[in-house]
Amino acid sequence: MGAALEVRELGRVPYAEALALQEELREARRRGACPDTLLLLEHPPVVTLGRSHRSEHLLLDRAALAARGIELFEVARGGDATYHGPGQLVGYPIVDLAARGAPDVHAWLRTLEEGVGAACAALGVPWRRIEGWTGVFAAAGEPGARPRPRKLASIGVGLRGWVTHHGFALDVDLDLAGFEAIVPCGLAEVEMSSLARELGARAPADLGVRAREAVRNAFLERLG
Amino acid sequence: MASIAVELPALGESVVEGTISRWLVKEGEAVEADQPLVEVTTDKVDAEVPAPVAGVVQALLVSEGDTVEVGTELVRIDPDAEATASPTRLTEAPPPQLGTAPAPSAPTGPGEGPRATPLARRAAEVQGVSLEAVESEGRRIRVADVERHVGAAPGPARSTPPIAPSAATPASRREEPARRDEPARPAAPARRDKPAFLDYELQEGDKVIPMTPLRRIVAQHMVLSKRTSPHVGAVAEIDMAGVFGVRNEHKRAFQQSHGFALSFLPFIVHAAVRALREFPRLNASVVEDAIVEKKDIHMGIAVETEKGLVVPVVRHADRLSLAGLAQAIEDLASRARSKKLSPDELKGGTFTLSNPGRHGNLYGFAIINQPQVGILRMGEIVKRAVVRTIGGEDAIVIRPIMHLALSYDHRAVDGAPANGFLHRVRALLEEAEFDL
């Protein structure tokens, strides 16, 4: 047990269903009934609010969201508001940190950043961290005295005992307009970006497939 | 068997505290082993703390919204008590979670030394006191106990709990754990909102102002900093004529292109940041028994708001031009005053500049913003008569003079780098070679 990682690619899954699956898996993982598992999937448009969200970071109310076909969930993960939608690769690692001998949530956040960051780099988008802001940011600078950091992936984690759930959301070729509903992660200063936007004309036609491969490989390398 | 205390587990090496976001159980409720009891939030993580044993929830010891340190008792569970609520299904107890090792309320096990929270151990180590000598009001020694011991207060005052609420142990928590013959104690423990006073009897007409959460954080931080870092002060007298010149030259154009006035602050930040690049020892932290010189320079700017002191951080201040710094400072300061800063913007500073503003004074020494090792405080800028040698002749001339005071942590910084740094800041300001 311990070090094996099973990756399951699920395609498009409604948020509530994915939540239930995570719940089931993490209970199974806690009983030792399944190995560490990484779920890779995408969601139909949905806004989720983490435990540390502040209401002013939700810019549209429930009705206005519904009118745009966006669901709203309040969930037991750390962090503020975020948006998921088609074109975004969501990863939910259900991992027993204690069994891996690494019961440290900050180290886990850094592992997630590294995995997603390595995948971005493999696809030709250099990444960086910004101290104090969990997440994966594009490293390439933009001109101007005060460029806004461009965020590629958001991270928010839940723990029951030492088993993780929730995880990361990497914007591959997401329609970034969805983020207009919220102040992403409560960071008004951050601009949301995507791999497609960073790559511009260099973006391959099958970017979605490649991104999934890259993320899968990056995490198998780190956790497999 | 006595009741079991469930503590806030150590969620990671760099995690020292967590905020209680939601209770998932009530007092008097029966819980299964491993059932989630409470949700705790820290940064980007929401952690559920499970019950180490099956039993009845005796008392919730902290409230939702409280931020508590690792090792704080959150809840007591009595494994033997009768449930006052109808019990739910029972399962076999799985092996205990590493993250939530139960803290039995029995006395110290053999050969372990006194029980103490990790923070208290570190505090004792820093203060050079032996944990054996520290009297605890609870079953485990806490930071507050160590501080009280160091403060040489004549023993804990039984009738008057200390003022610092988050470090205090409310009276009800000091009681012995419920004995077997007592029923589960459903009564809520005393909350912390009653102010109490050490050595002061309230007089008629006194005004009692309970500390706001921000005030408490500031107060605790100041005490921590003074106890942690031996502060040394040094003051430079700086001729600001050159900076005046640059500012006057660009004032109007700057106002037109940026929409706000160019103040002296960005000049001083700019000079400090350049000097920090040359004296990295001032841009550092003491971590355990090492000194960490940081790659990045994130400058905290102390701002007074109506709610109190806040220190927003200009990230990567060394990558910004003078105009960029001015813009960043203006943006942070205005949002600090309108309370629109996100918590992340107050974190991660590597050095701090304090600007007392219009009602400043000659000079003063600020307290270091931990875990940094230095802080600059601006004095007022006043025209003074000074002696300059002009054309080979000594002359008394009138110059705008500012005193700039540096407080530094002598654990990490010796006089030479500190003086070198301050001297460099002065030289940069007097040379006044700024691009705008």
pLDDT value, residue B142: 64
Q: Give A182's pLDDT tier (boundaries 50, 70, 90).
A: confident
pLDDT value, residue A141: 63
Find chain B residues with C-beta within 8 A of A108's C-beta. Answer: 12, 45
Q: Which residue is associated with the tokens 């948020």?
A: A15
**A51 to B328: CB separation less than 8 angstroms, yes or no:** no
pLDDT value, residue B165: 32
With a CB-CB cutoff of 8 Å, which residues 19-78 of chain A face chain B?
30-31, 50-52, 76-78
Cβ atoms within 10 Å, residue B183: 12
ipTM above 0.95, yes or no: no
Instruction: Looking at the structure, tell me whether residues B145 and B198 fall in a common domain.
Output: yes
What total of structural domains would you count in chain A? 1
When pLDDT is averaged across residues A83-109 and rounded to a whole number, the result is 92
Is the Cβ–Cβ distance between B47 and B40 less than 8 Å?
A: yes
pLDDT value, residue B236: 97
d(Cα B170, Cα B367) in Å, to the nearest integer?
A: 30
d(Cα A65, Cα B65) in Å, to the nearest integer?
A: 28
Among A152-156, B148-152, B178-182, B267-271, the minimum mean pLDDT is found in B178-182
**A30 to B94: CB separation less than 8 angstroms, yes or no:** yes
Instruction: Looking at the structure, tell me whether residues B224 and B204 fall in a common domain.
Output: no
Q: Give A2's pLDDT tier (boundaries 50, 70, 90).
A: very low
Whether A11 has its CB under 8 Å from any CB of chain B: the answer is no
Q: Give A145's pLDDT tier (boundaries 50, 70, 90).
A: very low
Q: Which residue is associated with the tokens 């292109």?
A: B257
pLDDT value, residue A147: 67
pLDDT value, residue B79: 86
pLDDT value, residue B155: 37
Q: Give domain status of residue B233, yes or no.
A: yes
* CA-CA-CA-CA dihedral for A193, A198, A200, A205, to nearest 10: -90
pLDDT value, residue A186: 60
Give yes or no for residue B280 having a pLDDT over 80: yes
Q: Give A143's pLDDT tier (boundaries 50, 70, 90).
A: low
pLDDT value, residue B109: 36
Give yes or no for residue B174 having a pLDDT over 60: no
Is the Cβ–Cβ distance between A11 and A43 less than 8 Å?
A: no
When pLDDT is averaged across residues B271-279 and rounded to a whole number, the result is 96
pLDDT value, residue B254: 92
d(Cα B54, Cα B90) in Å, to the nearest integer?
A: 8
d(Cα A105, Cα B357) in Å, to the nearest integer?
A: 41
Q: Give A187's pLDDT tier (boundaries 50, 70, 90).
A: low
- Mean pLDDT (chain B) is 78
d(Cα A223, Cα A175) in Å, to the nearest integer?
A: 30
Question: b or e along B48-58 (b: 16 or more beta carbons within 10 Å of the residue's beta carbon)?
Answer: bbbbbbbbbbb
Q: Give domain status of residue B114, yes or no.
A: yes
Q: Give the CATH number of the domain where residue B22 resides.
A: 2.40.50.100
Task: List residues of A with catalytic annotation.
Answer: 185
Find chain B residues with C-beta within 8 A of A30's C-beta. Answer: 34, 94
Give yes or no for residue A93 having a pLDDT over 90: yes
Find chain A residues with C-beta within 8 A of B320's C-beta. Answer: 145-146
Residue B359 annotated as catalytic? no
Q: Give B119's pLDDT tier (boundaries 50, 70, 90).
A: low
Range of the domain at A150: 5-223
Instruction: Looking at the structure, tell me whether residues B235 and B191 fall in a common domain.
Output: no
Q: Name residue A191's beta-bridge partners.
A: A150
| Type of residue found at B313 | V
Give yes or no for residue B185 having a pLDDT over 80: no
User: Which of B210, B232, B261 corresponds to the end of one domain?
Assistant: B210
Query: Considering CB atoms only, which of A78, A98, A131 is closest to B97?
Result: A98
User: When comparing pLDDT for B42 and A112, which is higher?
Assistant: A112
The CA distance from B13 to the nearest CA of chain A, in Å, is 6
| Type of residue found at B181 | D
Instruction: Looking at the structure, tell me whether residues B105 and B240 fall in a common domain.
Output: no
Instruction: Looking at the structure, tell me whether residues B250 and B113 fall in a common domain.
Output: no
- SS3 category, B389: strand
Among A3-7, A212-216, B296-300, the minimum mean pLDDT is found in A3-7
Q: Give B207's pLDDT tier (boundaries 50, 70, 90).
A: confident
When pLDDT is averaged across residues A205-211 and rounded to a whole number, the result is 93
Among left, alpha and beta (phi > 0; psi -120 to 50; other), residue B316 is left
When pLDDT is averaged across residues B337-363 and rounded to a whole number, the result is 84
Instruction: Looking at the structure, tell me whether residues B240 and B384 fall in a common domain.
Output: yes
Entry pTM: 0.49
Query: Considering CB atoms only, which of B10, B47, B348 is closest to A159?
Result: B47
User: Which of B210, B226, B251 corresponds to the end of one domain?
Assistant: B210
The percent of residues above 70 in pLDDT, for chain B, comes to: 74
State the catalytic residue, choosing from B78, B409, B414, B435: B414
User: Which of B210, B242, B270 corresponds to the end of one domain?
Assistant: B210
pLDDT value, residue A117: 95
Task: Kindly report the backbone phi and psi dihedral angles of residue B372, in degrees, each rounded to the nearest multiple of 5, phi listed first.
Answer: -80, 175
Q: Give domain status of residue B44, yes or no.
A: yes
Q: Give domain status of residue B52, yes or no.
A: yes
Cβ atoms within 10 Å, residue B149: 22
Q: Which of B14, B17, B44 to probe by mutation at the A interface, max A CB count within 10 Å? A: B44
pLDDT value, residue B303: 78
pLDDT value, residue A142: 60
Q: Chains A, B: CB contacts under 8 A, how many?
A: 118
- SS3 category, B314: strand
User: When comparing pLDDT for B331 and A76, which is higher?
Assistant: B331
**A51 to B39: CB separation less than 8 angstroms, yes or no:** yes
State the catalytic residue, choosing from B145, B403, B410, B423: B410
Give yes or no for residue B350 having a pLDDT over 80: yes
Instruction: Looking at the structure, tell me whether residues B79 and B40 fall in a common domain.
Output: yes
Query: Considering CB atoms only, which of B36, B42, B98 is closest to A160?
Result: B36
Instruction: Looking at the structure, tell me whether residues B257 and B402 fall in a common domain.
Output: yes
Q: Give the CATH number of the domain where residue A61 resides.
A: 3.30.930.10
pLDDT value, residue B204: 80
**B324 to A187: CB separation less than 8 angstroms, yes or no:** no
Task: Kindly report the backbone phi and psi dihedral angles of residue B59, in degrees, each rounded to the nearest multiple of 5, phi listed first.
Answer: -155, 135
Q: Which of A26, A55, A82, A146 to probe by mutation at the B interface, max B CB count within 10 Å? A: A146
Instruction: Looking at the structure, tell me whether residues B158 and B231 fall in a common domain.
Output: no
Residue A203 sits at the vertex; the CA angle it makes with A200 and A120, to the nearest 5 degrees, is 95
Which two structure tokens, joined as six digits, stand for B115? 């029980």
Q: Give the CATH number of the domain where residue B311 resides.
A: 3.30.559.10
Among left, alpha and beta (phi > 0; psi -120 to 50; other), residue B43 is left
C-alpha distance from residue B253 to each of B43, B247, B249, B318 (Å) = 42, 10, 8, 24
Give B289-331 pLDDT, tens digit per residue.
899 999 999 999 987 777 677 889 999 999 999 999 999 999 9
**A88 CB contacts (<8 Å, ≥6 apart)?**
A42, A43, A169, A170, A171, A172, A174
Range of the domain at B97: 4-210
Instruction: Looking at the structure, tell me whether residues B158 and B31 fall in a common domain.
Output: yes
- DSSP for B397-431 reads EEEEEEEEEEEEETTT--HHHHHHHHHHHHHHHHH
When pLDDT is averaged across residues A71-81 and rounded to a whole number, the result is 82
**B11 to A159: CB separation less than 8 angstroms, yes or no:** yes
How many Cα atoms within 13 Å fall on the side-chain side of residue A44? 13
What total of structural domains would you count in chain B? 2
**A161 to B342: CB separation less than 8 angstroms, yes or no:** no
When pLDDT is averaged across residues A167-171 and rounded to a whole number, the result is 96
| Cα nearest neighbour of B321 on chain A | A145
Instruction: Looking at the structure, tell me whether residues B412 and B287 fall in a common domain.
Output: yes
pLDDT value, residue B190: 38
Cis peptide before B371 (omega within 30 of 0): yes
Which two structure tokens, joined as six digits, stand for B173? 């928590």
Q: Give domain status of residue B60, yes or no.
A: yes
Instruction: Looking at the structure, tell me whether residues B181 and B248 fall in a common domain.
Output: no
Give yes or no for residue B107 having a pLDDT over 70: no
Find chain A residues with C-beta within 8 A of B99's C-beta. Answer: 98, 103, 159, 161-162
Sign of the C-alpha dihedral, residues A27, A32, A36, A41?
A: negative
